Amino acid sequence: MRTALRTGMLAGAVVAILALGTGCAVTPPGPGAPAAGAIPPAFEGRLAAVGTEPFWSIDLVPEGPDRGIHFSDFSAAVPREVRLDWVAPEVTGAGQRVVFRARDLTVTLTAAPCSDGMSDIRYPMQADVQRPGQAPLRGCGYQSWIHGVEAALPAIDACLLRRPGWLVSWAGADPARTGNTLVLLDRAGGGERRACTVDAAGAASMVGFAAETGEQPPGVGNPTLVRAPMAVPDHDAGEGWCRRLHPVRGRDGAEIGTGMVNHLC
């Protein structure tokens, strides 16, 4: 599982619970509540969840060639990944919870602070997984960093000028420097990770990882981005592991790069 954490195979998903009709008058949603059927921004795009003791992970992928719910059970005698068909989400809890109901798997993600009990990573969601005839699984969830990649592109490109040909394993708000963007870069082929912070003026600086950057954000390496026009590196994901590749495009359809996710074969 530690390998899975490092490679970004912390994945996540959610399950739909149907609201029960009571026959009573419906109270209008309060200020800030999402419209019926609308997905709150914190739950848009790719979602993921991970649990420890027993170790498991889920990827919830709403679009692309790997669309579906990917559940990995690392505690099984033979660790494996099961891919389930995508099911549309439903929002409950005044927009603070999303749920999906897939075949033989029900997962609920709730917006609330969460700890995996084994690291200092602070997750923004609590995860609950229900499987028929089996004990429930508890863990933590998060929104994949790739959802906000367009906003981070200027910082990503500024950092790649300092490390040409490296891969992007995470980009987002710098937890240690207010107003800055943090970009985590991996050397192609593995073996080295560096952090780069970019200020509001676009100036990039290489910094230490992770002591100088504060706590590690959730979802590092899920996915790893190969920035276009760089070709996808031709290297093995490791024994027992395979790679899923998916195109990453902007809202205008322009190519941003290729996302890579390591998963159990």
pLDDT tens-digit profile of 205-264?
998 765 455 568 999 999 999 999 998 887 666 677 788 899 999 989 999 999 999 888
Residue 177 has pLDDT above 90, yes or no: no
Do 130 and 193 share a domain, yes or no? no
Range of the domain at 36: 2-143
Do 47 and 98 share a domain, yes or no? yes
Q: Which residue, of 143, 163, 181, is where some domain finishes? A: 143
Q: Give the pLDDT score at 201.
A: 95
Q: State the DSSP string of the chain.
A: -HHHHHHT--B------PPPP-SSPPPPP-TTPPPTTPPPGGG-S-EEEEETTTTEEEEEE-SSTT-EEEEEETTSSS-EEEEE-----EEEGGGTEEEEEETTEEEEEEEEEEE-SSSS-EEEEEEEEE-TTS--EEEEEEE-GGGGHHHHHHHHHHHHTTSTTPEEEEEEE-SSSTT-EEEEEE-TTSS-EEEEEE-TT--EEEE-SSGGG-SPPTTTTSSEEEETTSPPP-----TTEEEEEEEEE-TTS-EEEEEEEEEE-
Q: Give the pLDDT score at 37.
A: 62
Q: Give the pLDDT score at 189.
A: 79
Do 153 and 209 share a domain, yes or no? yes
Q: Give the pLDDT score at 119.
A: 87
Q: Give the pLDDT score at 242.
A: 83
Q: Average pLDDT over the chain, rounded to whole?
A: 83
pLDDT tens-digit profile of 149-164?
999 999 999 999 999 9
Q: Give the pLDDT score at 99.
A: 95
Residue 52 has pLDDT above 90, yes or no: yes
Do 109 and 200 share a domain, yes or no? no
Do 17 and 121 share a domain, yes or no? yes
Q: Which residue, of 143, 160, 184, is where some domain finishes? A: 143
Q: Which residue, of 107, 125, 143, is where some domain finishes? A: 143
Kindly state the average pLDDT of the residues 58-87. Answer: 90
- The model's pTM: 0.80
Q: How confident is the model at residue 75 (pLDDT cuts 50, 70, 90)?
A: confident
Do 9 and 137 share a domain, yes or no? yes
Do 108 and 238 share a domain, yes or no? no
Do 112 and 184 share a domain, yes or no? no
Report the number of distinct structural domains present in the chain.
2
Residue 9 has pLDDT above 50, yes or no: no
Q: Give the pLDDT score at 142.
A: 97
Do 34 and 109 share a domain, yes or no? yes
